[in-house]
Amino acid sequence: MPKKPVRNAFYFYMLDYKEEQRQKGVNYSNLAAVADAAGPLWRDAPPSVRTKYDEIAKKHRQKTNFTDQKFTSTGIPISVIEQNEREAKEAEEQEIKDIENLVKLRGYDNTAKTVDIYVMDVNCYCKTGSDYIIGESTLLRFNVEEGIKDTYHEIINPGVIPVGYAYDMKLSCKEFGLEMPDEFSKKSNYMQILANIIDYLKQQDRTSKILPPIFTMPDKVAPVQNFIHQLCRRVAEDENQFRIYKLDTLFFTLINTLKTQADEGFPKESLALLQLKKDPFKYSPGIGCEHHEENDKSVECTLSRVKRWSYTVLDSCCPVAGVTARNGCHVPPDYDLESIQVYQEQKRGRVAPSVGGYEFNMSSCNSSMLSESFLDTSSNATIDTSRREKRVHVPLRMPKADYSQAIRMAPELTEDEFPSLGSSRIGRGRGLGGSLSKLKTGK
């Protein structure tokens, strides 16, 4: 059945025009004649008249379920997708602007290294619909000058296991080193967790109504944001006061604000993310929580992760900002800073190259040394000949035992020793042998 045509504003104008003409005694046989008569009047109609009939046509479309929207193959309006893209772009621009206001403006008075940065990470059991079931969370505070200040770690018992997600939660427990949710144990107090997070974020200024942003890795933005929104929904708190931003964007902006030389910092933001993904402090002992340390799963602990992310940022920013690193604050507690400093000093000095057995005492880029020694082939040739020795190859001795007498001659074989296996009839098969009789071999 074909679709009914969409009625536009001119259609309803024609209906009114036809009725007016009927009352005057003029009758039209069909709508085509009405369109020819009403067309010039419609083109010259004032905007108020056109607006009136546009509203009538719009209400008619809504009444008959005719819309101007376009949909995807899955039934999602394209306007919704475009709106989501615009909102995501605006949110990203706002994020960059907030980070610049947090860090860059402090770079003018050299206070960027004292800005407190909050980093958060979560471990989730599974995702049910649009919500994540969180089993562990950690919030950490640090700055470049003092390093890691303090942390807030919480292991969460969500209580009831959603129907159909028991196996997914079991796999997550095995991966992240968590305990299965216990329905009979005391359920975590989400109101208290949210209150602790807000108090933790307000340590610098208890009277401030604006909370500082929380930073995390790009793949953890959605779980952390959903976790905060769940807490706010449970206690009817405004979720818009929390801002969850990407840590690599902050890392890129911070190190480029602190740098004093042109060759320092990161030229692109992707390099900051790459440095964080390298995770150079991944296997540092003693930085996880007690539960994960006992189960040998400290690598998957959220407390260990946020510390490792902070150590990575501080390890790159401290030399740029001129801050002396301290164990337990800027680097893990067992880090041997003295040996690393000695190694870095040795690495700064260039090793003199050796060519043809002659070792330079000066840098290889010294042109005078190159002209006098490196290009002097006669001296190098003398040194080479004195150091090289001719290799002498001594032939191996012949074997003393004679094995020729023990070798027997091969017997002669005749046709009598290989009798025929039977008739010479061609076997029955699907190959060439079974179809030789059908081939026309005669000429």
Residue 387 pLDDT greater than 60, yes or no: no
Q: Is residue 229, in this structure, part of any structural domain at all? A: yes
Q: Is residue 40, in this structure, part of any structural domain at all? A: yes
What is the DSSP annotation of 81-114?
HHHHHHHHHHHHHHHHHHHHHHHGGGGTTT-GGG
- In a shared domain, residues 169 and 295: yes
pLDDT score of 410: 75
**CATH number of the domain residue 201 falls in:** 3.30.420.10
- In a shared domain, residues 55 and 120: no
Neighbours of 308 (CB within 10 A): 23
Q: Is residue 387, in this structure, part of any structural domain at all? A: no
Q: Which two tokens stand for residue 258?
A: 């602190």
Q: Which two tokens stand for residue 394?
A: 């001594």
Q: Is residue 442, in this structure, part of any structural domain at all? A: no
Q: Is residue 415, in this structure, part of any structural domain at all? A: no
- In a shared domain, residues 177 and 306: yes
The 10s digit of each residue's pLDDT in 348-385 is 665 555 444 444 444 444 444 434 443 444 444 444 54
Last residue of a domain, one of 317, 342, 367: 342
Mean pLDDT for the stretch of residues 225-245: 93
Distance separating alpha carbons of residues 77 and 217, to the nearest angstrom: 31
* 3 state SS of 285: coil
- In a shared domain, residues 120 and 193: yes
Q: Is residue 166, in this structure, part of any structural domain at all? A: yes
Amino acid occupying residue 64: T
Contact present, 317 and 254 (Cβ < 8 Å): yes
- Is the model more confident about 359 or about 405? 405
Q: What share of the chain is helix, strand, coil (3-state, %, to 5)?
A: 45, 10, 40
> 12: which residues sit within 8 A by CB, 6+ positions away?
53, 56, 57, 60
- In a shared domain, residues 24 and 134: no
- In a shared domain, residues 59 and 120: no
pLDDT score of 174: 94
Closest CA to 258 of 98, 117, 112, 102: 112
- In a shared domain, residues 330 and 188: yes
Q: Which two tokens stand for residue 314?
A: 């501080």
Helices (H), 127-264: 166-176, 190-201, 221-235, 247-258
The 10s digit of each residue's pLDDT in 170-221 is 999 999 999 998 888 888 999 999 999 999 999 888 888 899 999 999 999 9
* Distance between first and last Cα of the chain: 72
Residue 317 pLDDT greater than 90, yes or no: yes
- In a shared domain, residues 166 and 56: no
Last residue of a domain, one of 63, 78, 108: 63
CA angle at 122 for the pair 118 and 124, rounded to the nearest 5° = 165
- In a shared domain, residues 153 and 245: yes
Q: For residue 118, what is the enclosing H or E element?
A: strand 117-128
Q: Is residue 385, in this structure, part of any structural domain at all? A: no
Distances (CA, A) of 308 to 29, 283, 315: 84, 9, 10
pLDDT score of 160: 86
Domain count, the chain: 2
Residue 48 pLDDT greater than 50, yes or no: yes
- In a shared domain, residues 267 and 125: yes
Q: Which domain holds residue 202?
A: 116-342
Mean pLDDT for the stretch of residues 117-141: 95
Residue 436 pLDDT greater than 90, yes or no: no
- In a shared domain, residues 49 and 127: no
- In a shared domain, residues 140 and 230: yes
> 55-71: buried (b, 16+ CB within 10 Å) or exposed (e) per residue?
ebbeebeeeeeeeeeee
Mean pLDDT for the stretch of residues 51-68: 77
Distance separating alpha carbons of residues 264 and 255, to the nearest angstrom: 8
Q: Is residue 217, in this structure, part of any structural domain at all? A: yes
Contact present, 348 and 375 (Cβ < 8 Å): no
Distance separating alpha carbons of residues 367 and 172, to the nearest angstrom: 63
pLDDT score of 442: 55
Strands 354-355 and 147-155: unpaired
Distance separating alpha carbons of residues 104 and 118, to the nearest angstrom: 17
Distance separating alpha carbons of residues 9 and 55, to the nearest angstrom: 8
Last residue of a domain, one of 276, 307, 342: 342
pTM (2 decimals)?
A: 0.65
pLDDT score of 151: 96
pLDDT score of 373: 42
Distance separating alpha carbons of residues 253 and 272, to the nearest angstrom: 9
Contact present, 138 and 148 (Cβ < 8 Å): no
Distances (CA, A) of 330 to 218, 297, 309, 316, 347: 23, 23, 11, 10, 22
Rg of the chain over CA atoms, in angstroms?
A: 42
Helices (H), 180-220: 190-201
Mean pLDDT for the stretch of residues 266-286: 94
438 φ/ψ angles, rounded to the nearest 5 degrees: -85, -15
